[in-house]
Structure 1
């Protein structure tokens, strides 16, 4: 398996952004592969899903050791997302993964998810404040809405590989306003592992994984995340998030209207 330096460098850059902001893995990697390197959308999504499953497994281990994962919330999300991911990938396989129609659909969904991710980055503090003022939902409502949200994310992530991060955290903040942020982030990362793994295996089964590309991205991204995480406390988070939101908006518009 040959490591491509350009892909590894891209992985390093995206890994650094994730390490600094906690956001931007799939949101940047998939459009980067499509727009900059000309990778077919289905292959970009499938490869990025297994890339996310690998990197977020390490994050889950770290958060698990720190006991900041709410496994009940993870189970509720997975109850909706995993079946939805299986059904979505099956429907993609029936449509023909390399067809123009599927490619166009993936680009549109990806563009829309990037725009939604940018909005959650810009307005997360306001949304969290609104949820805190509204108060806690009933346990039954929380359970139903969490499973339903999991199903929606399962569909969207299987098509675009985007949505389990920034969007997931923001929605969980709305549903569980009393839960500490670190616990919400830990639970969201833990849920992303089975979701991206199941969706990624599904894409593997239909032949939309580039293993050399995956290896090259991981070679760059793992040190990128580790190095950037070390310097993250010294960087102004607000500025980085604003820049990331602007970039995601521009890329999303490019995909929607290209």
Structure 2
């Protein structure tokens, strides 16, 4: 079984390295559907996994100067308190109860579908925003909207471990269309580190992190991300995102039917 976890971590790492998204969207459903891990433990373990891997990514982007720390601060103002509140709510209602597990499973499915929408329509949304500059938010309205988006992402990530990748990046593109692709990626990863870390601490408090599973997944994912990054330019991004979107749609359907 441990070898299977290593292989799974490697496979997800390759996909994340090639596409830049899909870590939580693939890992959490994979743990619940393929290995029978309870939804709560799958979410908690994936959050700890994400906080470690994204920490290394943030360090690299910081060295390259591709993190907009002002935007990171606004997102964290909404995301971090929301993550704490969501963790307390899960504790209050019993995160490990069977009924709550079903709710978490549905939230994972919903988050996966949002990720699919983000993957498929990101370019069209960016084109619309660029073509209608008068609709772009400015000043205080932009700041408040960014904080609100951070709060939504904080709840979504704490409950399902999904949302900080493709969904967060898509929101950044819509709110800040002048950011370069590198700045979108760097900013998205940077704010996700404290968010996933706080959410992971919340799940540790709930007792829903499998530390042995976490270490095993990391053994596979580190070389997987490296290899995926090497091959990222060999396969067209449009094909990769279409394949990932199709996979995620199947995952969401399976999650709903298995509930």
For residues 240 and 137 of structure 2, what CA distance do their matches in structure 1 show?
33
* Aligned match of 1:150: 150
Structure 1 residue 256: deviation in Å?
Answer: 2.3
Q: Point out where structure 1 has 5 or more consecutive residues left out of the alignment.
A: none
* Aligned match of 1:187: 187
- Runs (4+) of structure 1 exceeding 6 A deviation are none
* Aligned match of 1:170: 170
3-state SS, counterpart of residue 208 of structure 2: coil
Provide, for residues 113-146 of structure 1, a one-character-per-residue CA deviation record: whole Å limited to 9, x for no partner: 1011011111111011111122232111110000
For residues 237 and 173 of structure 1, what CA distance do their matches in structure 2 show?
17
For residues 95 and 175 of structure 2, what CA distance do their matches in structure 1 show?
35
* Aligned match of 1:217: 217
Structure 1 residue 231: deviation in Å?
Answer: 1.6
* Aligned match of 1:69: 67
* Aligned match of 1:97: 95
For residues 188 and 41 of structure 2, what CA distance do their matches in structure 1 show?
25
For residues 137 and 157 of structure 2, what CA distance do their matches in structure 1 show?
26
Which of residues 50, 53, 71 is equivalent to 2:48?
A: 50
For residues 236 and 91 of structure 2, what CA distance do their matches in structure 1 show?
44
- Indicate yes or no: 2:123 matched with 1:125: yes
Structure 1 residue 257: deviation in Å?
Answer: 3.1
* Aligned match of 1:208: 208
For residues 162 and 205 of structure 1, what CA distance do their matches in structure 2 show?
19
Structure 1 residue 23: deviation in Å?
Answer: 1.0
3-state SS, counterpart of residue 234 of structure 1: coil
For residues 145 and 253 of structure 1, what CA distance do their matches in structure 2 show?
31
For residues 141 and 184 of structure 2, what CA distance do their matches in structure 1 show?
18
3-state SS, counterpart of residue 233 of structure 1: coil
For residues 123 and 210 of structure 1, what CA distance do their matches in structure 2 show?
35
* Aligned match of 2:198: 198
How many residues get paired?
A: 256
3-state SS, counterpart of residue 233 of structure 2: helix
- Indicate yes or no: 2:22 matched with 1:24: yes
Structure 1 residue 254: deviation in Å?
Answer: 1.6
Provide, for residues 43-75 of structure 1, a one-character-per-residue CA deviation record: whole Å limited to 9, x for no partner: 000000010000000100010000000000000
Give yes or no for contact 1:115–1:253 (8 Å, CA) kept in 2.
Answer: no
* Aligned match of 2:107: 109
Structure 1 residue 235: deviation in Å?
Answer: 1.5
Give yes or no for contact 1:85–1:154 (8 Å, CA) kept in 2.
Answer: yes
* Aligned match of 2:7: 9
3-state SS, counterpart of residue 16 of structure 1: helix
For residues 137 and 206 of structure 2, what CA distance do their matches in structure 1 show?
40
Give yes or no for contact 1:173–1:179 (8 Å, CA) kept in 2.
Answer: yes
For residues 76 and 101 of structure 1, what CA distance do their matches in structure 2 show?
34
Q: Point out where structure 2 has 5 or more consecutive residues left out of the alignment.
A: none
TM-score normalised per structure 1: 0.97
Provide, for residues 196-226 of structure 1, a one-character-per-residue CA deviation record: whole Å limited to 9, x for no partner: 0000011001100000000000000000001
